[in-house]
Chains A and B, each alone.
Chain A
Amino acid sequence: MSVRQSEPRGRMLLTALVALILSVLPLPHWLAVARPAFLVLTVLYWSIAAPRAGGLTLGFASGLALDVFRGAVLGQHALALTTITYVAVREHQKIRSKPAFQQAIIVFAALAVYEFILFAIDGWSGHPLTSPLRWVHTVTGAIVWPLATAVLERSHSPR
């Protein structure tokens, strides 16, 4: 992971856009439920790999985009994503030095926190959604994390 990249911002925005498209692509229901939160994974990746380039601003903006696309209360995904981005940015050096498997576990925890914040806000704002299916993506997200990092790494250091 070369952090000394001169300006990964363009790549960052591009990958975020691709991730957003991936997360709104229509899929059959069973697959849609298991779909990893691609944008969240991408934001996590960038806040670990290049915390200064995007960091919290990227997290907040992506969260807001998710709010709009999901038709949620404005600020819901933004708050959740900003929170885990903050933790990732703070601890990026520790996380970066971990092997892939441990990283995946950390990502799982982050996704669980993220989903819990969404869940809590859903409840407070009067749109409760208690289906256990909403937690599925935390597991699939952790599973695809090593793959996602490989792809994203390639995106900002091609050779």
Chain B
Amino acid sequence: MAAFAAGSYRPSPGRGASPGFRFTLYAILAIVLMFLDQRRGWLEQARYYLSAAAYPLQLAVNSPTAAWRWTEQIFETRATLEAENAVLRQRDRALELRSQRFEALARENGELRGLRDALPPVADHWIVAEVVNVELNSLRQRVLINRGARNGIFKGQAVMDSQGLLGQTMHVGPWSAEVILLTDPEHAVPVQIERTGVRTIAVGTGDNQSLALPYLQANADVKPGDLLVTSGLGGVFPQGYPVARVTEVRHDAVQPSAQVRAKPLAQLDKLHEVMLVWFRPDHPAAPIGLAGGSTIGSNLTTGNPDFQPQAVAARSTGGQPGPSKAASAKAASAKATASTAARTKAAPAKAAPAKTKSKSKSKSGESKPEGAQKPSGAGPAAGTAPAGTAPAGTAPAGTAPAGTAAPETHP
């Protein structure tokens, strides 16, 4: 012990180890922790409890903001509320009008796919979470939300707002969850250009108003104004949800790929409330697990926080930037076939609000007979059913085995 006592420090009597010894101990401990944490999942449980411990403090930090919002609401005048109400009515009417034909179209689509009934919407249900106003990391695009595993949130769950995609959950605690936004430099989302069906990957830039499309070839058909929708690959987001709009395309003679920027549709700068969405695993538009194959895709939608393999899905889209992404980009663009284009049309382009609408409808009316008709072996059914749909390599698009499998409804 004395050998470690270095410098001017004199170990006090009765206080055991010297700083050198303790430093070695703590350093080794920290390194071991890092290794365990990198082998994903080994420390998930510890992280879960630690984030529970951190949550009260985060709430305390958030409380001034929350109190401010609350007082703002209290003192809102009648006139403001009436004006807001009028706007909402207007919007409601517009959405109703837009979704009137939806039922008929959904049925028609189902018939075209050879099903007896209309497909239920891919989004099964969702909950609203509030953003806890806490600084996580000023240089990364992360936010904390006030829902966690106790609300059924799981790792790698899609987070959206009414305009489009926001990101996905990253660390989940019992009452809170950390969300990585689309624009985080470590986040990548597989998308396709809605107009042409070309698939590529949108990568965050660290700026909350901009996404980059680094894997588009220089001669790719893309122009400003193009809508990017999720392509359904990658195992987290289902197919056809709006992500961003292309703002800038630069063709640089020396670069083999076009320099394309897009602006996310979701309101990333005014984050207050977000939606966490559960998707039907057996829907043809459901997320398709790319890397690990079927298991990822099937676990994703079960809403079980214990299914930590989702970490793989989250990391494989977000984590390693290098070769895996490039490879999947290649695979993605290779698969831009006719069936893709058809699929793209099936999901209305600017349908975020319309979709939300239909979701709520089906939730009340449609989904019950569906559920009754099928074998409702909830958990395990979800595990097996999408295995048929999921072999990502072969036929991601139109195969629709949904007629046989169980669309499970979460309470």
Contacts and interface: CB of A to CB of B under 8 A. Distances in A.
B86 interface: no
Given A26-B133, A74-B46, A82 B23 contact: yes
Interface in B144-171: 170-171
Interface residues of A, number: 50
B26 interface: yes
Contacts of B36: 74
Contact of B30 (A21, A23, A63, A126): A63
Contacts of B171: 71
A100 to B, nearest CB: 20
Given A52-B12, A60-B29, A91-B7, A126 B320 contact: yes
A25 B33 contact: no
| Interface hub of B26, B31, B34, B36 (most chain A Cβ within 10 A) | B26
Contact of B137 (A52, A63, A70, A90): A70
A12 interface: no
A56 B30 contact: no
Given A26-B65, A52-B12, A56-B26, A68 B51 contact: yes
Interface string B38-59: 1000010011001101100110
B27 A82 contact: yes
Interface residues of B, number: 52
A125 B61 contact: no
Contacts of B133: 26
Interface in A43-94: 51-52, 55-57, 59-60, 63-65, 68-76, 78-79, 82-83, 86, 89-94
Interface in B271-293: none
Given A25-B61, A82-B26, A55 B38 contact: no
A32 B43 contact: no
Interface in B114-142: 133-140, 142
Given A33-B139, A131-B206, A26 B34 contact: no
B23 A74 contact: no
A110 to B, nearest CB: 14
Nearest to B46: A74
Contact of A75 (B32, B61, B135): B32
B185 interface: yes
Interface in B82-104: none
| Interface hub of B23, B38, B185, B206 (most chain A Cβ within 10 A) | B23
A26 B134 contact: yes
A29 interface: yes
Contacts of A14: none
B326 to A, nearest CB: 15
Contact of B19 (A20, A27, A86, A125): A86
Given A26-B133, A82-B27, A90-B8, A127 B170 contact: no
Contacts of B27: 79, 82-83
A114 B23 CA distance: 15
A91 B8 CA distance: 7
A55 B31 contact: no
| Interface hub of A126, A131, A133 (most chain B Cβ within 10 A) | A126
Given A73-B34, A90-B9, A92-B9, A26 B61 contact: yes
B188 to A, nearest CB: 13
Contacts of A131: 139, 206
Contact of A71 (B7, B38, B170, B319): B170
A125 B138 contact: no
A63 B50 CA distance: 13
B142 A75 contact: no
A134 interface: yes
B105 interface: no
B6 interface: yes
A128 to B, nearest CB: 8
A32 B138 contact: yes
Interface of B: 6-9, 12, 15, 19-20, 22-23, 26-27, 29-34, 36-38, 43, 46-47, 50-51, 53-54, 57-58, 60-62, 65, 133-140, 142, 170-171, 178, 185-186, 206, 319-321
Given A56-B22, A65-B54, A91-B7, 8 more contacts: A24-B135, A26-B134, A27-B138, A52-B12, A68-B51, A70-B136, A86-B23, A90-B20
25 contacts: A17-B57, A21-B61, A26-B133, A33-B138, A56-B19, A59-B26, A69-B136, A70-B137, A71-B142, A71-B171, A71-B178, A73-B38, A74-B33, A74-B34, A75-B29, A75-B34, A75-B37, A78-B30, A86-B19, A89-B19, A90-B9, A121-B34, A126-B319, A126-B321, A127-B319
A-B pairs with the 4 shortest C-beta distances? Answer: A75-B33, A79-B30, A32-B138, A75-B30
